[in-house]
Amino acid sequence: MPRKKSKKSRKPTKFKTITIKVTAKQKKSLVNFAKSRRTTTNKVIKKAIRPLLQNYAGLEVTSTSTKVNQLALFEQE
């Protein structure tokens, strides 16, 4: 009898919750847009921000805490 090939199990995907605030008019527009495309509001938002988030997962961000003098009145040469 031939053996069944077992599928490799994948790591479960971890999801995080993000909360945003929109006005009542913006929410109504979002819901109407989703209905016209026969999809959900969550999928509309994810599709809209996907290009912004794809390439930045491994980006190393360094912040500098140096003060920048905006007005150089007493600058010495």
> Half-sphere exposure of 58 toward its Cβ, with a 13 Å CA cutoff?
1
- 33: helix, strand or coil: helix
Query: What is the mean pLDDT of the segment spanning 13-42?
Result: 96
Q: Which of 6-10, 19-23, 26-30 has the weakest average pLDDT?
A: 6-10
Cβ atoms of 35 and 45 closer than 8 Å: no
Query: What is the mean pLDDT of the segment spanning 8-21?
Result: 91
Q: What share of the chain is helix, strand, coil (3-state, %, to 5)?
A: 40, 0, 60
List Cβ neighbours of 41 (8 Å cut-off, separation of 6 or more).
Answer: 30, 31, 34
Report pLDDT for 74.
Answer: 67
